[in-house]
Structure 1
Amino acid sequence: MPRSALVTGGTRGIGRGIAGRLLKAGYQVLVCGRRTPDDLPPGMVFMAADVREPAEAQALVSAAVSHFGGLDLVVNNAGGSPSVPAATVSPNLVTAVVRLNLLAPFFVAQAANAVMQDQPDGGLIINIGSVSAMRPAPGTAAYAAAKGGLEVLTRALALEWAPKVRVNQVTAGVVRTDDNEAHYGDEEALAAVAATVPLGRMATPDDVADAVLLLASPMAGYMTGAGLLLDGGGELPRYASASKPTQEPGATPRRSS
């Protein structure tokens, strides 16, 4: 029987990339979003849901189980936030950001765990985190705090739900998607962002999807409560571009007395 997966926020961006790769890997895939997408790959199932609402998260998991006969993998991908200064952000927006990026994954995971605990082979939950939890940018205080909470939630759920259900996280750095210009700027700005990454480029949704497939493979069968950092090496320190070499490449280093 094909394995089954649920990907929240799987109709666009990173989620769409993850869902598509899972489908190609032989999974039966259900994706959700608040709006019906214009198109989906053949074989992918869509359900409209707002995972910030516990009842809708429960209904989503129930629909996946009803459609597939079980649920092997959940990818908590839905998330995001506009950039707003912490000094002026409204309480309503702070609440909405935390609900989407921290509470929604909890609600979906809780519903999935109730199903997976009764399955012979258990199940796997993968949360999609962000390097904002470690390196917050200006304007992302609520988002960074919520993603920091998601890291702790991943470890806490792994501890409570083992051995039947494993819970891991992919922590993504800057990822190139269709809506990057709204956040980073034009192509010149995107190139400048890519230049700060040691590997010389932003990640793609396929890079994140590959990390998900790795964690979902038998090779990661002993991993739970773990985080897979996917940031291309982090960020080049500012002094790296400001400093100048003191000698020609390949020259013998000077020795100090």
Structure 2
Amino acid sequence: MTDRWIELDGLVNMRDLGGLPTRDGGTVATGRLIRSDNLQDLSDADVTRLVDELGVTDIVDLRTDTELHLEGPGPLRRVEALTHHHHSLIEEQRASESVGDVGRRALPWRDDDPVRDASFWASHYLRYLAKRPESVAAALEVVAGAEGAVVVHCAAGKDRTGTVVAMALDVAGVPHDEIVADYVLTAERLERIIGRLMPRESYGEALAKQKLEDQLPRAESIEAILAAVHEGWGGAAGWLLAHGWSPADVERLRTRLTR
């Protein structure tokens, strides 16, 4: 699957979901859904490639308002042809919070957290669905309705992005083992991802207190969310139906993602 990596100067964790198989013998279409870490450091050449070569028309930013404020607008904000969508998966900043607090919630890590194992991360992913269902549904609506490729990203491109992408792929009919394999692929770039985030005001303080292995994407984490969605709603399509989508909306997303 590593040939799906998109190599750019200003990021390390971008890949196209195109090429993944579906249960009915098809594949996910290339140039429809791209996952990524943050887009703050893109070069002019990166921007040109994304827009002119890869056909990106929409950006879905899953970070909080506070992260956007601290990080500032990235280079893609200057591109008038792009449409930007902000759908945070985490509660917004409380008045008493410091920058460090924001980083701990956004990633999301706290000094008093227990061992950060697979179940720890799974609980966070399930919380996104429980606490911010409107943001998850809205992000998927962008994918369903875009004219070109959609880039879905957060800070690292692992947790918030991984949750939305897993839901999209489940609707598309991608087998769970393939969804899991895509999620854990981020481990190949984890050290470089953390290296990008460490100097940043929003994340550096929290990251300095964590071990690299604590952030490792483990198969059991994403397996847990897929299992929970299937047990509760019969899959991501059923979850969307329970959160205001029509059958036609679900089919539009499925059709958009598949050949």
Same fold (TM over 0.5): no
TM-score by length of 1: 0.30
Larger Rg: 1
Structure number having the greater helix percentage:
2
Which structure has the higher relative contact order (CA within 8 Å, separation 6+)? 2
